Structure 1
Amino acid sequence: MIQSILHQLKKLGVHSLISNEAIILEILEDVTQLDLVNETIDHLNSCIKGTEFKKVLLVCPREYLNQLKLVGKQMGMKGERVIYQRSLETPLESAPLDYEIWSPTDENSISFLSEVMGRSVKVTKKFLKSMMVELPSQYQNMFTVYKINSEPIGVVLPHLEPGRDQEGRLFWIGIHPKHRGKGLGNHLHLIGLERLRADFKAKTYLGATEVENLPMRKTMQANGCVEDHRVLTLEYKT
């Protein structure tokens, strides 16, 4: 039933992703049949009750909410995000940066990511499991570690977005706490972009961050990304 509803939404222009506990819906482009989208998402919210899914997340432009009345009543506001884009069809202009690709299942990888995220190992493993469920064919090739003088500095997780035309994204990015405040985030982000271009063969990059996250916004701007539009994130919980 749920897969059928997601297929209907795809035909209406709504992109979807499935993690181990959530369904993520995105309206990032012009959609004309918003009344039908509204009814279909309402149906989806009803159908996840009693399943393994605990919530539905919807990302969409603010102006669409006037026509998504059922959705607006059901789903709570989580925040506003800025969407950035850049082309990856030409080589990036940058000095060589040292990085390695680690296995996401290795205990050293999990331990280091736990430190970078500031989360327990248990929570970190749950995060990686979500990544594996969403991106099973890319999971083993995503865990990218920025290194300086052989010391790991941060982690970036590049991937191609399923169902999109060679669109590259970063599942997550973060600098280890003891190396923050040194401007290294720009380098880590650039490594992610370079891997998207060279290894994942992405033609474009789409990045999103909270409106209030000025450091990440400055990082994307420094690496040639241009603000495209803004979207709201809404959540429905069972």
Structure 2
Amino acid sequence: MEHFHTIKSPGKYWLVDQLKKDSISKELYETSLSKLVKEWKSKEYGFISVLLEETSEAVLLDEGFNKVSTIVEYTRTLDNIEEHSFPIRWNNLSEGRLTDQDYASLYERCRSGSANKNKKQPIEEVMNSIKSELGPAWRDFCYSFTHEGEACGISIPLIEEGTTDEGRMFYFGVVPEMRGRGLGASMHLASLSLLKEKNATYYVGSTDTSNQAMIDIFIKNGCTLRDRKGIYRLEKKRK
């Protein structure tokens, strides 16, 4: 049984997320995590970032990790997502309205001024991660939103790897000049509808505890608090 979802970019980073299951004990999670960190230390450089329940953080702190922040996870079922009249329009990248570079630039704008405390990767690495994780059809998952002809944000809804019906968003963000106008909630609700179209039956989203605007969007769109996790990071420099 898999205990952690890990994205690996050899020589650059590992991104590790605990897969919370009631059938797995705290002790088993910690044993698996220790083995995973040992494997990374034996051959990898760059950094490793881990999302983990805070009750097990001593395992990582003892290994030299720094705690970056705390995130909250929200969830909701998608069976009752209904048709809405949205004040926004959206297109995916495969439709050709934006170039890949235009989309990367819009992504970068959405990250500007974010309340999330996790250290940002260069946008080139982010785009490479999207292509690697989502495969050849990655553009089909990358949506941009407009309001009255002006770009207002992006969303990347997908089915979580290793599941058939868990909806996630690789990224969701609103450009700074469009924040505080209620458009983020509309974009998020539209993204939930897109997840339902992709056969997701439920959604899990997360954000930093300091990002109250995103928490308010979760609550407005019917999501409930599921979990809290710490973000822990360790860098290993080449000798």
TM over 0.5: yes
Normalised-by-shorter TM-score class: 0.7 to 0.9
Q: Which structure would you say has the larger RCO, counting Cα contacts within 8 Å and 6 or more residues apart?
A: 2
Give the letter aligned to residue 26 of structure 1: D
CA RMSD, 1 decimal: 2.4
The answer for the alignment partner of 1:3 in structure 2 is: none
The answer for the alignment partner of 1:109 in structure 2 is: 103
Deviation of residue 38 (structure 1)? 4.0
Give the letter aligned to residue 177 of structure 1: P
The answer for the alignment partner of 1:83 in structure 2 is: 73
Classify the secondary structure of the residue corresponding to 1:169: strand
Deviation of residue 46 (structure 1)? 1.8
Could you tell me which runs of 5 or more consecutive residues in structure 2 were left unpaired when the two chains were aligned: 114-120
Q: Distance in 1 between matches of 2:106 and 2:112?
A: 10
Give the letter aligned to residue 163 of structure 1: G
Classify the secondary structure of the residue corresponding to 1:228: strand
Classify the secondary structure of the residue corresponding to 2:190: helix
Deviation of residue 175 (structure 1)? 1.6
The answer for the alignment partner of 2:155 in structure 1 is: 156
Q: After superposing the two structures, state which structure 1 stretch, 90-99 or 147-156, moved more.
A: 90-99
Give the letter aligned to residue 203 of structure 2: Y
| 1:100 equivalenced with 2:99 (yes/no) | no
- Residue pair 2:57, 2:230 contacting (<8 A) in 1 also: no
| 1:182 equivalenced with 2:176 (yes/no) | no
| 1:73 equivalenced with 2:62 (yes/no) | yes
- C-alpha change, 1:190 and 1:43, in structure 2 (3 Å) is same
For each residue in 1:115-141, what CA deviation from the matched residue of structure 2 results, as whole angstroms up to 9, or x when unmatched?
33349xx94333211211222255211
Provide the identity percentage: 21
- Residue pair 1:159, 1:196 contacting (<8 A) in 2 also: yes
Give the letter aligned to residue 77 of structure 2: S
Number of equivalent positions: 219
Give the letter aligned to residue 84 of structure 1: Y
Q: After superposing the two structures, state which structure 1 stretch, 204-213 or 122-131, moved more.
A: 122-131
Could you tell me which runs of 5 or more consecutive residues in structure 1 were left unpaired when the two chains were aligned: 1-10
- Residue pair 1:19, 1:133 contacting (<8 A) in 2 also: no
- Residue pair 1:18, 1:24 contacting (<8 A) in 2 also: yes
- Residue pair 1:18, 1:133 contacting (<8 A) in 2 also: no
Deviation of residue 227 (structure 1)? 0.4
Alignment match of 2:204 (pick from 186, 206, 209): 206
